[in-house]
């Protein structure tokens, strides 16, 4: 029986960003859930009109929200997360949840040290204004174009912004960005956890928000354990999860997950990352 799949969206997006992935996985016989972050259950248009429902939303609340959803399922799911949803996925796997996980351009957990200019440029507008810690952080069409849809033509980039963009809760940005300075950071995982479910980390070489170097470092650090951790990099792809050609990425992630559901921990195999 095919395992269920839980899709976790990232910042400045909602479950709508998974609409193509969800339909594709359902066509292949999987039950697919794409729950919104807590307090973000409304449609894109409603969240744009009143983003204050996200004020003060933090990482722990988001992780606990998905924890409850996953524990309520009949079978352990494959957990897939994009960007900050990838970070959430890695925190859930660290709790022992899920049959396997796949992350696409995951935001860095505590201990991933490479913070290149592209990533800093995305989060700096929030960090330079402490007021946004308790509020939400908007993103202009130009910022979304640079950080999410930089490989897409102008018309498609504009359409993506119009259909998918929402402001992001500022507190989670502060928590993740300052994690390496906080000994009690909520984004901490155990890099040496040997019984972590199998994990695939995917990077995109044209990503201007979470560069491939950050994804690769995350895979390397998580690969310090005996748990299965694989890394795959895609050429010519930006940060946006449904940029043209997304089907090949979705298929790779699903095929990998189906092969690894229930896979034992690796023993003396060479590192894959």
pLDDT exceeds 90 at position 125: no
- Stated pTM of the model: 0.92
Helix H, strand E, coil C: the string for 136-175 is EECCCHHHHHHHCCCCCCHHHHHHHHHHHCCCEEHHHHHH
pLDDT at 272: 45
207: CATH = 3.40.50.1820
Smallest CA-to-CA distance from 97 within 123, 66, 134 is with: 66
Position 270 in a domain: no
* pLDDT at residue 267, rounded to an integer: 40
Residue 24 belongs to a domain: yes
Q: Is residue 185 part of a domain?
A: yes
For residue 101, give the H/E element and its range: strand 100-104
Q: Which residues pair with 137 in a beta bridge?
A: 168
Q: What is the pLDDT of residues 250-271, one digit of tens each?
A: 999 999 999 999 655 444 333 3
What does the pLDDT read at residue 2? 87
Which DSSP symbol is given to 27? H
Strands 136-137 and 168-169: antiparallel
Residues spanned by the domain of 81 = 5-260
Specify if 267 maps to a domain.
no
Average pLDDT over every residue of 43-52: 96
Q: 110 CB contacts (<8 Å, ≥6 apart)?
A: 179, 180, 182, 185, 187, 188, 189
Q: Which two tokens stand for residue 58?
A: 């933090």
Structurally, the chain folds into a number of domains equal to 1
Q: What is the rounded distance in angstroms from the CA atom of residue 169 to the CA atom of residue 14? A: 12
* Amino acid 124: pLDDT: 59
């Amino acid at each position: 029986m095919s395992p269920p799949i839980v899709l976790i969206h990232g910042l400045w997006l909602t479950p709508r960003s998974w609409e193509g992935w969800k339909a594709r996985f359902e066509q292949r016989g999987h039950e697919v859930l794409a729950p919104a972050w807590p307090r973000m259950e409304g449609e894109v248009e409603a969240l744009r009109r009143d983003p204050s429902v996200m004020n003060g939303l933090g990482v722990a609340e988001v992780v606990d929200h998905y924890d409850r959803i996953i524990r309520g399922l009949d079978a352990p799911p494959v957990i897939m997360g994009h960007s900050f949803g990838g970070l959430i996925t890695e925190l859930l796997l660290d709790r022992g949840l899920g049959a396997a996980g796949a992350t696409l351009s995951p935001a860095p957990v505590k201990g991933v040290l490479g913070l290149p200019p592209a990533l800093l440029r995305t989060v700096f507008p929030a960090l330079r204004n402490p007021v946004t810690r308790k509020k939400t952080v908007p993103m202009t069409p130009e910022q979304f174009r640079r950080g999410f849809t930089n490989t897409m033509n102008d018309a498609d980039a504009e359409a993506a912004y119009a259909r998918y963009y929402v402001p992001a809760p500022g507190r989670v940005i502060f928590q993740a960005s300052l994690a390496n300075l906080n000994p009690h950071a909520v984004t901490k995982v155990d890099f040496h956890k040997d019984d972590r479910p199998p994990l695939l980390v995917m990077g995109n070489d044209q990503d201007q928000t979470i560069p491939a170097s950050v994804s690769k470092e995350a895979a390397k650090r998580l690969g310090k354990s005996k748990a299965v951790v694989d890394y795959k990099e895609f050429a010519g792809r930006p940060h946006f999860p449904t940029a043209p050609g997304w089907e090949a990425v979705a298929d790779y992630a699903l095929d990998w997950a189906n092969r690894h559901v229930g896979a034992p921990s690796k023993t003396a195999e060479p590192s894959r990352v």
